[in-house]
């Protein structure tokens, strides 16, 4: 029963770690099952499996503090729940006496198992409607327990109408903030690979998410895109608000997210796409009255905000992409990530984050070669510099390489390598607040597998 309860909690995490099917759909075609009276009922999806071998440093122990012998500080990320992504990479207690990790797993890729169904109709010559729902799951079970059930999740479900005036969508869909960086990783990096396993306990994988890619995640909301004006489009959405429990629990307004993109074919073998994105989420909390200090209860407000963007360039067989993001409270992994790094749990200050990511690929017939690198970093708050009980994450770095071979239009073999490097600021030393040596972690993953998509 405990495992079942945990899996329910992990469901939200699972979906947010899955790479967006919206970005993958270009790599597969919908299969029409039934066509009647103008209606088309179709389905699409994929299944995959990868042998994943990981070796390197397990989660680091605190750097000893000579001023407080026997009283170690905490390393941010060490108290994460199983199956939940945080900072660093924490195994399922598999380290040896030297603090090293080695394990072989059979995992889902960056995109797990997906089965989507659509019902569409051409209402007029220029207007079409479509309803779509997608079910997601993984092949691995929680914490290597074969009796733990794999719980599928309805990750997408929306209604869309498209006409000469643009496109409107209602339901649960991909967000706008971080789309360009995720699109680059999906198109040129890890559509048919693994990259970084998000957690040791549960899939799917992350690719470069957490090391420079800001993942949008899925949200309930309303979204509108203008028609293309020479390749230029504006996209705007209002989404169900999020909170940072247990501190910032008040989010009274819908969250606006938006993007501006320019995409143009330069020739039959050349394309350029540029995009900029933003989001804003007001938050509030109730500060209880303090009878000792004689202060009344009051409302306190803050906000999450972020800006991101990227560019894709395709010329013949060459694919190049670069992206960046910056913002307050947006997290290192996905937009509005509620983990230990999001805010200071004592002062409730939101931390600021910055990320950079670059990816290249070379497509030679059925073979695609890929290489990329990125970094996500968290700024250190003033309160962090005097907190002798915590070492805050500084940055996470990822370097990747991959080769993919298409056996057919539907079957792709993949072999990819990922090096993950995490660095912490180090805890302030009691007495003079000089920083102790920052903790560090280096891990290597090699993944090989096959993807069947349709």
Question: Model confidence over 403-445: pLDDT tens digits?
Answer: 999 999 999 999 999 999 999 999 998 878 889 999 999 999 9
Distance CA 35, CA 33 (A): 7
- In the chain the domains, ranked by start, together with CATH numbers, are 44-108+175-453 (2.40.160)
Residue 307 reports pLDDT greater than 60: yes
For range 149-172, the mean pLDDT: 94
Residues paired with residue 364 on neighbouring β-strands, in sequence order = 367
The alpha carbon torsion through 334, 413, 420, 214 (nearest 10 deg) reads: -20
The values of phi and psi at residue 284, to 5°, are -150, 165
Which residue do the tokens 């497509």 mark?
A: 363
CB atoms within 10 A of CB 33: 11
Supply the pLDDT for residue 15: 40
The whole model's pTM is what?
0.90
Q: How far apart (Å, rounded) are the C-alpha atoms in residues 338 and 248? A: 11
> Residue 316, by phi and psi: left (phi above 0), alpha (psi -120 to 50) or beta?
left
> Measured between alpha carbons, how far apart are the two ends of the chain, in Å?
36
Paired strand residues for 60: none
pLDDT in tens, 184-219: 999 999 999 999 999 988 888 999 999 999 999 999
| Mean pLDDT, all residues of the chain | 90
Q: What radius of gyration do the chain's Cα atoms show?
A: 23
In this predicted structure, what is the pLDDT of residue 149?
86
Q: What is the pLDDT of residue 16?
A: 36
The predicted-structure confidence for 27-80, as pLDDT tens digits, reads as follows: 456 788 899 888 999 999 999 999 999 999 999 999 988 777 777 899 999 887
The pLDDT value recorded for residue 358 is 98
pLDDT number for residue 24: 45
Tell me what pLDDT residue 41 has: 94
Q: Which of these, 243, 203, 229, 28, lies nearest to 109 by C-alpha position? A: 203
**Quick one: which of 68, 143, 138, 52 has its CA closest to 102?**
52
Q: What is the DSSP letter of 343?
A: B
- Of the listed ranges 61-70, 222-231, 251-260, the least confidently predicted one is 61-70
pLDDT of residue 292: 77
């Amino acid at each position: 029963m405990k495992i079942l309860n945990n899996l329910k909690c992990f469901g939200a995490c699972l979906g947010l770690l899955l790479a967006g099917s919206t970005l993958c759909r270009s790599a597969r075609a919908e299969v029409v099952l039934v066509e009647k009276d103008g209606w088309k009922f179709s389905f699409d999806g994929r299944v995959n499996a990868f042998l994943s071998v990981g070796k390197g440093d397990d989660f680091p122990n605190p750097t000893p503090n000579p001023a407080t012998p026997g009283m170690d500080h905490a390393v941010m990320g060490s108290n994460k729940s199983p199956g939940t992504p945080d900072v660093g990479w924490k195994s399922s207690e598999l380290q040896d006496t030297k603090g090293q990790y080695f394990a072989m797993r059979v995992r889902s890729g960056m995109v797990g198992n997906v089965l989507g169904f659509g019902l569409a109709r051409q209402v007029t010559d220029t207007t079409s409607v479509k309803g779509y729902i997608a079910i997601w799951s993984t092949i691995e079970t929680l914490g290597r327990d074969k009796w733990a059930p794999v719980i599928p999740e309805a990750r997408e479900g929306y209604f869309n109408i498209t006409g000469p005036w643009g496109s409107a969508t209602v339901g649960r869909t991909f967000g706008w903030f971080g789309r360009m960086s995720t699109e680059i990783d999906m198109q040129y990096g890890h559509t048919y690979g693994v990259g970084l396993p998000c957690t040791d306990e549960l899939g799917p994988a992350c690719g470069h998410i957490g090391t420079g890619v800001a993942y949008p995640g899925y949200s309930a909301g309303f979204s509108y895109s203008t028609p293309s004006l020479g390749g230029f489009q504006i996209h705007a959405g209002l989404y169900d608000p999020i909170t940072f429990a247990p501190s910032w629990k008040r989010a009274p307004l819908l969250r606006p997210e938006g993007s501006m993109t320019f995409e143009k074919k330069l020739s039959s073998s050349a394309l350029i796409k540029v995009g900029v994105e933003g989001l804003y989420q007001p938050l509030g909390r109730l500060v209880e009255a303090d009878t000792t200090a004689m202060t009344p209860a009051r409302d306190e407000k803050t906000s999450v905000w972020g800006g991101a963007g990227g560019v894709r360039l395709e010329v013949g067989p060459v694919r190049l992409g670069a992206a960046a993001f910056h913002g307050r409270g947006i997290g290192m992994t996905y937009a509005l990530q509620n983990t230990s790094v999001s805010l200071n749990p004592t002062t409730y200050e939101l931390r600021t984050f910055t990320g950079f990511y670059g990816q290249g690929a070379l497509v030679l017939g059925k073979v695609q070669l890929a290489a990329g690198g990125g970094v996500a970093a968290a700024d250190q708050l003033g309160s962090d510099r005097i907190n002798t009980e915590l070492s805050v994450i500084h940055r996470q770095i990822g370097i990747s390489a991959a080769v993919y071979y298409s056996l057919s239009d539907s079957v792709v073999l993949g072999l990819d390598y990922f090096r993950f490097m995490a660095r912490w600021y180090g805890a302030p030393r009691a007495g003079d607040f000089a920083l102790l040596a920052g903790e560090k972690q280096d891990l290597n993953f090699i993944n090989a597998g096959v993807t069947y998509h349709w």
